[in-house]
Chains A and B, each alone.
Chain A
């Protein structure tokens, strides 16, 4: 929230002039018939695609030269909002003159960019990026019909955010590399989730397979498992969890302190352990001969303290109960 968000109803103010122009006077709206295609010795492709969430639907017509795979002409029919109509119009235009393989590479981002008035100013407000996605999907559908393959053949990687076309692997990598903790951070780094927001969590505008909240939670859990699986030897004392620190302390006591005390018939136990600022406070209680020994608060204490500082960490402070 900020100053620019305090006045509502600004949806249309963020449409570029090109969006308005295409909406008011679409250039490629219409149909291509079998006869028209046959006249040019071309193959007619009619692809339907609908977004259940919007109720939006588009039908793309291609006239393809079977020799060269070049799309000779393209038209469409659309049921959708202004940006859906404008996006369909630009999609048809972008397809003309390209081979089917080239056309499949056109993404919703290309469509949106073609609708911009200025190179750096988005053609539509964020939530409307979503309307251009259908344009990309219908191209894939048309190409799959032409090549007689499944639509998924054209999807190289798992896409989480369709609006910004961010893949699952990119999102996971960004979370790990930058140690991200929130969905907002993911959006800042990748733009995923910045548009129609359907990919953030279930229940959004459109049904999605992956959601940023789940990816974040699972990736964080994965990172945590990786961290715990790393042997504590690889970590510095300050990176250890409290339990790992405790283990380490017990190890030092077991290995280098108890043998000395035991030799004189004494012993000790760790009663408690606390992390206080940068220090690790250890509370010990003497047992056996140590309990009443005069040196237990002077020489013995210093030896214990030094052993822990040396073998565990300098941050360790020993307190006798």
Chain B
């Protein structure tokens, strides 16, 4: 059976060049980089190259840090808890601001901190699905706000937030800004000289690197208290033997992603638009968010009368992988918070389906997926339609 992978916002295929580059560091240069002998030291130049690629990829300055983490969830946890620890130790201001559409590795940390007594403000999205800088400006209390966490691009909609403006607002008020850059890196240009955020997190497996490795950018003079204590690795900021093959793999993945950013924004965007146009050709389909405001690879669409889990099931029967935030598809039966926050009268929580492409997606695959979507929607609407051409 033919299979088409349109769930690249969940994870991506590893670039074969990346897996190849990682190989020597499993069986040949496997030394612990903190060892003083040659087995350890021979890996250092390769780690240096990986860092150079990561720094260049997001245009970080040499004075800044990029901590190698296990994933962006770790990075997000680290930043938020670090600021909490710092406030706690110094008896300082304890208000933090985030948004209603964050990834659980941000929102769940804030929900946890709320239990510990932190005052957390949750910013809504505007009618376009974006967090309005004016809302942020209004929410900041310069005397109390310690941290602002907002994502660069949303994983479900692909909508890109005006992070540069957030950075300016935060700095005018002496507040630290943490950006979850997971869905931005590799899809749109990420330039930390332009966007003066204090913290940025990213994850290799979202840009054709391996799973289990990510990066945490910390701007010079932005404090970071470790999440993992107990070692001198990463300048004492993250204990744990550095996963050298994965760090090196992520470095190359970053370089390749940046190299392909033009392809992403031309060819991937073209294929995405082709799919999107075809979806919009079907009756009662709505796509969330202005096309121009989204990452080039993402579509979140609502199909009236087609329940998300049943739709995902049908697509999977045809080999097409997508993603739904439908409450019925989750282990907890809870709706995806982004879908709830973005709900614009289209019953997104029940009928939302996300298609996310990558630079490996082909035209044939898109054609196949369009057919599969049309067939599935037709079948499921036969089950849900009523005589008067409505849906029950």
Contact = CB atoms under 8 A, between A and B. Distances in A.
A23 B331 contact: no
Given A54-B328, A54-B350, A81-B326, A23 B313 contact: yes
Interface stretch (B114-122, B135-143, B270-278, B382-390): B382-390
A23 B313 CA distance: 9
B307 A79 contact: yes
Contacts of B1: none
A29 B392 contact: no
B336 to A, nearest CB: 13
A59 B309 contact: no
A11 B331 contact: yes
B192 to A, nearest CB: 33
Contacts of A205: 327, 332-334
A77 B333 contact: no
Given A55-B347, A127-B333, A205-B327, A80 B317 contact: no
B329 interface: yes
Interface residues of B, number: 27
17 contacts: A8-B331, A11-B331, A23-B313, A29-B383, A55-B347, A55-B349, A55-B350, A59-B392, A77-B385, A77-B392, A81-B308, A81-B329, A84-B307, A84-B310, A85-B310, A127-B331, A131-B328
Given A54-B350, A205-B333, A81 B328 contact: yes
Contacts of A26: 383
Nearest to B324: A81
A78 interface: yes
A82 interface: yes
Contact of A48 (B327, B332, B383, B392): B392
Contacts of A197: 333
Interface in B303-337: 305, 307-310, 313, 316-317, 326-329, 331-334
Pick the most buried of B317, B382, B384, B387: most chain A CB atoms within 10 A of its CB. B384
Contacts of B384: 57, 77-79
Interface string A82-115: 1011000000000000000000000000000000
B350 A78 contact: no
A281 interface: no
Contact of A77 (B316, B332, B349, B383): B383
Contacts of A85: 310, 383
A24 B309 contact: no
B383 A82 contact: no
B386 A59 contact: yes
A306 interface: no
- Where chain A touches its partner, the secondary structure class is mixed
Interface in A50-81: 53-59, 77-81
Contacts of A59: 386, 392
A12 interface: yes
A81 B383 contact: no
Given A79-B305, A127-B332, A205-B333, A29 B382 contact: yes
B360 interface: no
A130 interface: yes
A56 B350 CA distance: 8
Interface in A9-37: 11-12, 23-24, 26, 29, 31
Given A8-B331, A77-B392, A79-B305, A24 B317 contact: yes
Given A78-B384, A79-B392, A82-B313, A196 B333 contact: yes
A29 B382 CA distance: 9
Q: Which 8 pairs, one residue from A and one from B, show the smallest C-beta to C-beta distance?
A: A81-B309, A81-B328, A55-B350, A79-B384, A205-B333, A57-B392, A82-B313, A59-B392
B250 to A, nearest CB: 23
A12 B392 CA distance: 25
Given A24-B317, A54-B350, A130-B333, A77 B386 contact: yes
Contacts of A77: 383-386, 392
B8 to A, nearest CB: 17
A195 B328 CA distance: 13
